[in-house]
Amino acid sequence: MIWLTWRQHRRQALFTLGALAVLAAIMVPTGLAMHTKYDSLGLPACREALGSASMITQTEAVSRCESLGHQFQQEFSGMVFVAVLFVVLPVLVGVFFGAPLVSREFEQGTHRLVWTQGVSRLQWALAKFGLVGAITVVLAVGYALGVSWWFRPLVSASTGRLTYLSFDVQGVVPVAYTLFALALGIFAGTYWRKVLPAMGISLVGFAAVRVAIEVLARPRYLPARTLSFSPAGDQTPNPASGDWVMSEGVRNAAGELVLPNARIGPCPPSGCGAGPGPGEAGAGAYNWMEFQPGDRFWTFQAIETGIFALLAAALVYFALRRLRTIA
């Protein structure tokens, strides 16, 4: 079975390796450039000094560190678009590896050849899914490690790794997304039994599930924390905390949100801009924000990985059940 699976998919596998090699040829130099620049700006040390508390005292050092971060982001702003490419990679595994796995056999009628040999369908399916799954895991782990390394300077110079996009391409969730995409492709292939519809359905299905979980479920994995701070004080949110700010604004003395997505006071050394002054929000107005603390990164990763791993397992189960009855 292993021989057959390899023989059938070796071209795909080699093609994938080639594509990944090309990708690596682009990512390694740009990643090195980002790491070097990050270090030469002195960002590691200044970020280290800020610690990971949510609020810190506003000092000269804090704003200097923040402006260094902005400088770094300016220089590599184009790289964020490259990161979008990484978000798309897992679905390609589902579309090009998963969807044709069973449906191509049906399309070419070869299921009638391979399912009438001395190997049971279940053995056939387990060997095939197992081998392709194992290769996928290896590729996905390499991809997750590589992207985590490549993305680290950009993420720590900006809003932290819990925010959208940077959460999605780091840690262990990319592996879970990839396995889910593969399982979805296989499942679609056993139900629609034509390569192109199966590909389309796995593409659309993956996007729908990913967006739904990302937007609806992820912000609620743990209850968000809230924080209020006075514009008069010298406390400011820590740019290095990695907190994921979900909403913020200015509330008046009665607690009503009067200025959404705004913050008042304390002014940076460069002077206050034309932003909203305390006068507009009335006396006693204060800054408010709702956020997920940055140190929940691995908890959130574990929860999201668990969700997608369960979904993948369920899809494989239904695909196997379906395989027993179709011909």
Partner 1 sequence: MELAVQTRALGKRYGRTWALQDCALDVPAGRIAALVGPNGAGKTTLLHLAVGLLRPDAGEVRVFGRDPRSVLPDIGFVAQDTPLYRDFTAAELVTMGGKLNRRRWDAALARERLAMLGIPPDRPVGKLSGGQRAQVALALALAKRPRLLLLDEPIASLDPLARREFMQALMGAVAESETTVLLSSHLLADLERSCDYLIVLQQSRVQLTGAVDELLDTHRTLVGPRAGSESIAGVAKVVRASHTERQSTLLVRRGDGPVDPLWTEHEVTLEDLVLAYLAEATATRVEWEVPA
Give the shortest CB-117-to-partner 1 separation in angstroms. 4
CA angle 12–15–17, rounded 5-degree value: 110
Give the shortest CB-300-to-partner 1 separation in angstroms. 44
DSSP state of 274: S
Nearer to partner 1, 8 or 73 (CB): 8
Nearer to partner 1, 120 or 228 (CB): 120
Contacts of 148 (CB under 8 A, 6+ apart): 169, 170, 171
Name the β-bridge partners of 14. Answer: none
Give the shortest CB-112-to-partner 1 separation in angstroms. 4
Give the shortest CB-302-to-partner 1 separation in angstroms. 40
Widest CA span in the chain: 83
Give the shortest CB-97-to-partner 1 separation in angstroms. 17
Phi-psi region of 265 (alpha: psi -120 to 50; beta: other; left: phi over 0): left
Give the shortest CB-323-to-partner 1 separation in angstroms. 12
Kindly list the residues in this chain that would bind partner 1 in the complex (CB under 8 A): 1, 3-4, 7-8, 108-110, 112-120, 325, 327
Say how far apart CA 286 and CA 230 lie, in whole Å.
5
Structure token digits, residue 220 = 């609620």
Give the shortest CB-139-to-partner 1 separation in angstroms. 23
Name the β-bridge partners of 288. Answer: 228, 249
Say how far apart CA 79 and CA 236 lie, in whole Å.
28
Nearer to partner 1, 11 or 220 (CB): 11
What are the backbone dihedrals phi and psi of residue 287, each rounded to the nearest 5 degrees, phi first? -80, 145
Nearer to partner 1, 274 or 327 (CB): 327
Nearer to partner 1, 129 or 244 (CB): 129
Structure token digits, residue 19 = 């594509």
Nearer to partner 1, 120 or 261 (CB): 120
CA angle 147–132–303, rounded 5-degree value: 50
Nearer to partner 1, 115 or 318 (CB): 115
Give the shortest CB-120-to-partner 1 separation in angstroms. 7
Say how far apart CA 297 and CA 305 lie, in whole Å.
12
Strand order in the sheet with 225-229: 225-229, 286-292, 244-251, 257-260
| The one-letter amino acid at 119 | V
Rounded (10°) CA dihedral 45, 49, 53, 58: -120
Give the shortest CB-12-to-partner 1 separation in angstroms. 12
Nearer to partner 1, 217 or 326 (CB): 326
Nearer to partner 1, 175 or 323 (CB): 323
What are the backbone dihedrals phi and psi of residue 162, each rounded to the nearest 5 degrees, phi first? -85, -15
Q: What's the distance, Cα to Cα, between the start and end of the chain in Å?
A: 20
